[in-house]
Chains A and B, each alone.
Chain A
Amino acid sequence: MSTEKFNYFINGEKGKYEVIIGLEVHAQVLSSSKLFSGSSTKFGAKPNNQVSLIDSAFPGMLPVINEECVKQAVRTGLGLNAKINNFSVFDRKNYFYADLPQGYQISQYKNPIVGEGKVFLDMPYGSKEIGIERLHLEQDAGKSIHDMDPSNTYVDLNRSGIALMEIVSKPDLRSPDEVNAYIKKLRTIMRYLGTCDGNMQEGSLRADVNVSVRKLGDKKFGTRCEIKNVNSIKFMQMAIEYEASRQVEVLEEGKRIDQETRLFDTKKNETRSMRSKEDAHDYRYFPDPDLLPLKIEQKLVDDLKKSLPELPDNKKERFIKDYGLTSYEANVLVSEKEISDYYEEVAKLSDKKLAATWMMGDLFAMLNDKGFNITKSPISAKHFAELVKSIKSGEISGRIAKEVFEIMVESGDNPKKIIESKGMKQQSDPKELEKMINEILTKNKDKVDQYKAGKEKLFGFFVGQVMKLSGGKANPQLTNEILKKLLKG
């Protein structure tokens, strides 16, 4: 762990300000059907084709809860080291908007399904614990499209009624970097659990960001503003930077911050007040009379706990302990479950440390370059392990390995076959090498004399000659050793 210190403050004219951030993350639950209806949740369908009479709030329709969504919320709660509430209640959150046909959102207010928990972030200045306040289940709204017609709004209700988990953090975050790490950590945990796909492009993960500032050293929190519905980590970070600076400016002018809901304008890179949300906090919650309280048997919680997969924090510890990886390496390799699976398959068949180095170097660079996910890697874990083995055994040099790697990407062939058929094996037989080097030294007698007279720079010339003659296949280490020995004699 580096000794870097935390250093994110806003410098005002009257001093340094600390930035306090809390997030309300909306994560779409992975389920086939919606929270209270049997319509599909599949992304990308034709507009309004995955809408039932319940989702469009026809009179007389009754919601029936999807048991899988409840289990997914419990799994997520367990993954966040949180308390699962055996008794929770669904409430109506009342507001009017065109994409909310019911006129209220079914959510959980006083009695959420999951209570307090915590997650751990790996920051350059050490591990940081972020508290989770609660997690509750609620319905998503539909989608309004404003740019299809100058005077009308188009509404698609496919998303209406899909289950969301709202994960509320404590105000423990202190910088855009910590927000980045937090969102990524939540995403990783939920992807491991299979409870949310974390796909931000498709809106499966969005957040409301609460920001306030206070003079460094102050104990009391400042008044906060809530920035609604930000859908990428980059925008969250930009919104926080803008909003924190704005608040410092207001305070330094001697004015007060109004507690309000703001909107982040991604084109202008600024936040602005949402006048229409003036009454937004007046939701008049009350228990939904259509839904009985949700009681969860402790046995179900225990069973779900037993069936959880190994989570990223535990896997990281194991990678460090069993495979001798650094904290950084382990962190990168557990960031996606698929990456860790690939690594483990390679590590089981080859050198664990070298496998990590080559994966994080050449393999990741190639995948990144091609825009591939690791599951689409043109090189299978088995073949990659073969390559690592060949490097480790000295069969091929690192330089040749890069060539083999390129060919593997193009052909998908086994590296053994490539090395064999192209004659790329490293020349590691000392007798053969000695013979070759002697030949070179005899041919360049003048240079040998100069070397012996003190022109030691010529050593590189000899190495170059060996590489040229061997077609780059001479084992570099062995070449150095033999050259030194022969030049001494």
Chain B
Amino acid sequence: MSLDKEKIKHIAKLARISVDEANVESLTKDLNSIFKFIEQLEELNTDKVEPLSSLLNQSLRSRKDQINDGGIREKILKNSPKENEEFFVVPKVVE
């Protein structure tokens, strides 16, 4: 796999990372060399190997269906960009 400049810009946009036009060239080169390193893995035949989702051979730990959290609105809303007693207030996002 190799990435071109357009792909780099697209990924940056999806990740909401602003990338200076001046940096695109070097970023493309860097990422491509990283990919090349990773692609060494393709030398292995993995036809009969299930994709690995986790390194730990354990199952997910679960909890009982109990209400034991919430009710901390003031704490949560401290991080709202604009002050409001009830809601997070953010710049208008609308279709």
Please give the residue numbers on chain A whose beta carbons come within 8 Å of chain B beta carbons, in ascending order: 31-33, 37-40, 46-56, 64-70, 89, 94, 96-98, 110-111, 144-146, 148-157, 263, 274, 276, 279, 282, 284, 287, 291-295
Chain A residues contacting B93 (CB-CB under 8 Å) are 97-98, 144, 146, 153
Q: Which 8 A-B pairs have the closest CB atoms?
A: A39-B70, A68-B65, A38-B69, A295-B59, A52-B69, A154-B87, A155-B88, A67-B62
Q: Does B42 contact A (CB under 8 A)?
A: no
Q: How many Å lie between the Cα of A37 and that of B58 in the bound state?
A: 21
With A and B bound together, what is the CA distance between A155 and B94 in angstroms?
A: 12
- A279 contact set on B, CB distance < 8 A: 10, 13-14
A to B CB contacts below 8 Å, 13 in the list: A38-B69, A56-B79, A65-B61, A66-B62, A67-B65, A89-B53, A146-B92, A148-B87, A151-B92, A153-B94, A279-B10, A287-B54, A292-B59
B residues 59-90 near A (Cβ < 8 Å) are 59-73, 76-77, 79, 82, 84, 86-90
The reply to whether B60 and A33 form a contact with Cβ atoms under 8 Å apart is no
A48: chain B residues at CB < 8 Å are 73, 76-77, 86-88
Q: Are B86's CB and A46's CB within 8 A?
A: yes
The smallest C-beta distance from B15 to any residue of chain A, in angstroms, reads 8
Residues on A with C-beta less than 8 A from B89 are: 149, 152-155
Given the known A-B contacts A70-B62, A263-B95, A292-B60, are A49 and B67 also in contact in the complex, defined by CB atoms under 8 Å?
A: no
Please name all residues of chain B whose beta carbon is closer than 8 Å to the beta carbon of A64 when the two chains form the complex. Answer: 61-63
Give bound CA distance, A469 to B94, whole Å: 73
How far in angstroms is the closest Cβ of chain A from B86?
Answer: 5
Min C-beta distance of B32 to chain A, whole Å: 18
Chain A interface secondary structure, helix, strand, loop or mixed? Answer: loop
Q: Are A152 and B56 in contact (CB under 8 A)?
A: no
A56: chain B residues at CB < 8 Å are: 76, 79
Say which residue of A97, A145, A294 sits within 8 Å of B87 (CB atoms). A145
B95 lies within 8 A of A274 (CB):
yes
Q: Which partner residue on chain B sits nearest A287 by CB separation? A: B53
| Cα-based distance from A282 to B10 in the complex (angstroms) | 10
A33 adjacent to B84 (CB under 8 Å):
no
Question: In the bound complex, do residue A49 and residue B92 qualify as a contact, i.e. CB atoms below 8 Å apart?
Answer: no
Q: Give the shortest distance, in Å, between A61 (CB) and chain B (any CB).
A: 10
Residue contact A154 to B84, C-beta cutoff 8 Å: yes
Chain A residues, CB < 8 A from B73 = 46-49, 51
Given contacts A39-B69, A52-B70, A98-B93, contact A156 B87 (CB under 8 A): yes
Task: Write out, one digit per residue, whether chain B residues 29-56 have a CB within 8 A of any chain A CB (1) or not (0).
Answer: 0000000000000000000000101101
Complex contacts, B56 vs chain A, CB 8 Å? 292
Dominant SS among interface residues on chain B: loop
- Nearest chain A CB to B9 CB, angstrom units: 12
Distance A282 CA – B11 CA, assembled complex (angstroms)? 9
The winner among A47, A48, A279 for most chain B CB atoms within 10 A is A48
Residues of A within 8 A of B14 (CB): 94, 279, 282, 284
CA distance A48 to B86 in the complex (A): 7
CB-CB < 8 A to B88: which residues of A?
48, 98, 154-157
Question: Which partner residue on chain A sits nearest B50 by CB separation?
Answer: A87
**Chain A residues, CB < 8 A from B82:** 152
CA distance in complex: A49, B72 (Å): 6
Q: Which of A31, A38, A55, A110 has the most CB of B within 10 A?
A: A38
Bound Cα distance from A65 to B10, whole angstroms:
34
In the bound complex, do residue B76 and residue A51 qualify as a contact, i.e. CB atoms below 8 Å apart? yes
Minimal beta-carbon separation of B68 from chain A (angstroms):
4
> Within the complex, what minimum Cβ distance (angstroms) separates A335 from chain B?
28
Asked whether A47 lies within 8 Å of B71 as measured between CB atoms, the reply is no
Chain B: CB-nearest residue to A163: B65
B95 CB to closest chain A CB (Å) equals 6
Rounded to whole Å, the gap between the CB of B69 and the closest CB of chain A is 4
Q: How far is the CA of A460 from the CA of B28 in the complex (A)?
A: 98
Q: How far is the CA of A47 from the CA of B88 in the complex (A)?
A: 10
| Pair B92/A152 contact, Cβ less than 8 Å | yes
Q: With A51-B72, A152-B82 in contact, do A65 and B94 touch (Cβ < 8 Å)?
A: no
| Cα–Cα distance between A356 and B1 once the two chains are bound (Å) | 67
Give the complex CA separation of A284 and B58 in angstroms. 25
Question: Cβ of A295: which chain B residues have Cβ within 8 Å of it?
Answer: 59-60
Complex CA distance for A54 and B63, rounded to whole angstroms: 14
> Contact: A38 with B95, CB < 8 Å?
no
- 13 more CB-based (< 8 A) A-B contacts, given A50-B71, A69-B65, A293-B59: A33-B66, A39-B67, A46-B73, A48-B77, A49-B71, A53-B69, A65-B63, A70-B62, A97-B93, A98-B90, A156-B87, A292-B56, A293-B54
**B59 contacts A38, CB within 8 Å?**
no
State how many angstroms separate the Cβ of B8 from the closest Cβ of chain A: 14
B38 shortest CB reach to chain A, Å: 14
What is the minimal beta-carbon distance from A331 to any residue of chain B, in angstroms?
Answer: 34
Shortest distance between the CB of B19 and any CB in chain A (Å): 16
Nearest CB on A from B71, distance (A): 6
User: By the criterion CB–CB under 8 Å, are A37 and B69 in contact?
Assistant: yes
Q: How far is the CB of A80 from chain B (nearest CB, A)?
A: 22
On chain B, the residues within 8 Å of A68 by CB distance are: 64-65
Question: Once bound together, how far apart are the Cα atoms of A154 and B84, in whole Å?
Answer: 9
